[in-house]
């Protein structure tokens, strides 16, 4: 074998490398805005998910810090990677939305294209922009308004088409800690007071991904972003990257100075938000999430559960149920044997009580139960 052949990284080495750059080996003191940028955005289908993502990574995280970032328009909620809602910095919103546009347009046409009717998309975007820039609107209002112009179309499809072809952000109070509100939209340009980037760099976006999720294959980057045909991009970047192989022989790319700790580096118990990008941003999720857990999550409505990392790997799931006086943290071992968590019981419960103190400060009693 040539001496310059790429080194093979074991599964545990991949796990520890990813956990290190995800700040899941140790909490850090970092402004929330920097963490949102470092993580290349936070998956945020559920309004409160981003707060748990930051809490499990930032020491003494105060949810009001993210509230302030949202209300001051330094971060926004917008459909981006994989067509899903993410919390991202204002700069990343304006830089990445044009890159992801083909993904959103393709996905939306596949799901709603038959409902477009006779709508002309250029005109739809023009009058739709005017409508939602006048005042933020819900999709129901957008669909009803556009439906008056194209009565042969499905109102829901018209609203989705506008989101696919114009950069729409969700405005507060949606996504504010402890508060709720209708999902109202306006354009990113109107909300942020500046245009999307005219010449966005997919190369820069890929490098940001590697900083948060590497080492990674071409297909990993594609799964994270929803983009296709990224091999030429990685080949173009190859001179400034280091290359490894995983245990199956797949080629992995990484930043030269990114952390890659030893496989035996201790990994503390961590409670992940539902849909945490750690478990969604690779084609091969085995570096943190086994196939058994993927199947369990799909069968058990994983949108209701967050993940629990034990020794760096997804070994349990959690959710909080509330009554008038009590918040109960439910922990499920899922497809694992019932006693699988027993050796880690104290560490899991200690971190669980820390989670309850953060998430349920408004309840007098905190309990932990095993589902």
Give the model confidence (pLDDT) of 154-187 as tens digits.
Answer: 999 999 999 999 999 999 999 999 888 889 999 9
User: Does 275 have pLDDT greater than 90?
Assistant: no
In the prediction, which pLDDT does 304 show? 74
Tell me the mean pLDDT in the region 348-367. Answer: 96
User: Does 6 have pLDDT greater than 80?
Assistant: yes
CB 187 within 8 A of CB 133: yes
In the prediction, which pLDDT does 297 show? 77
Give the model confidence (pLDDT) of 118-158 as tens digits.
Answer: 999 999 999 999 999 999 999 999 999 999 999 999 999 99
Q: Find the farthest-apart pair of alpha carbons in the chain and give their distance in angstroms, rounded.
A: 68
In the prediction, which pLDDT does 300 show? 65
In the prediction, which pLDDT does 303 show? 58
Instruction: Give the residues across from 306 on adjacent strands.
Output: 318
Give the model confidence (pLDDT) of 74-97 as tens digits.
Answer: 999 999 999 999 999 999 999 999
Residues whose CB is less than 8 angstroms from the CB of residue 211 and which lie 6 or more positions away in sequence, other chains included: 21, 38, 40, 255, 258
CB 217 within 8 A of CB 210: no
């Amino acid at each position: 074998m040539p001496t310059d052949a790429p080194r093979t990284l074991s599964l545990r080495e991949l796990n520890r490398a990813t956990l290190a750059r995800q700040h899941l080996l140790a909490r850090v003191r970092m402004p929330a805005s920097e963490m949102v940028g470092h993580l290349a955005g936070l998956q945020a289908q559920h309004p409160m998910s981003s707060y748990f993502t930051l809490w499990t990574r930032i020491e003494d995280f105060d949810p009001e810090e993210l509230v302030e970032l949202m209300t001051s328009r330094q971060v926004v909620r917008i459909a981006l990677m994989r067509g899903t809602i993410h919390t991202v910095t204002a700069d990343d919103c304006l830089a990445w939305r044009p890159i992801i546009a083909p993904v959103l347009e393709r996905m939306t046409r596949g799901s709603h294209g038959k409902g477009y009717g006779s709508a002309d998309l250029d005109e739809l975007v023009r009058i739709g922009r005017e409508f939602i820039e006048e005042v933020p609107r819900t999709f129901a209002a957008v669909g009803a308004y556009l439906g008056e112009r194209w009565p042969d179309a499905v109102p829901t499809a018209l609203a989705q088409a506008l989101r696919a072809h114009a950069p729409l952000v969700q405005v507060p109070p949606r996504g504010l800690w402890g508060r709720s509100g209708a999902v109202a939209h306006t354009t990113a340009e109107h909300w942020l007071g500046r245009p999307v980037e005219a010449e966005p760099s997919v190369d820069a976006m890929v490098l940001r991904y590697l900083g948060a999720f590497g080492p990674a294959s071409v297909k990993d980057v594609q799964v994270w972003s929803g983009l296709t045909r990224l091999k030429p991009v990685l080949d173009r970047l190859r001179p400034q990257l280091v290359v490894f192989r995983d245990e199956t022989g797949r080629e992995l790319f990484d930043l030269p100075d990114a952390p890659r700790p030893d496989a035996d580096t201790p990994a503390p118990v961590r409670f992940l938000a539902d849909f945490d990008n750690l478990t969604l941003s690779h084609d091969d999720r085995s570096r943190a999430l086994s196939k058994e857990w993927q199947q369990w999550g799909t069968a058990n409505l994983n949108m209701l559960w967050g993940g629990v990392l034990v020794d760096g790997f997804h070994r349990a799931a959690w959710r909080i149920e509330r009554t008038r006086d009590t918040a109960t943290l439910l922990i499920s071992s899922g497809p694992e044997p019932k006693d699988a968590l027993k050796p880690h019981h104290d560490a899991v419960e200690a971190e669980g009580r820390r989670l309850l103190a953060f998430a349920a400060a408004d309840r007098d009693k905190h309990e932990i139960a095993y589902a």
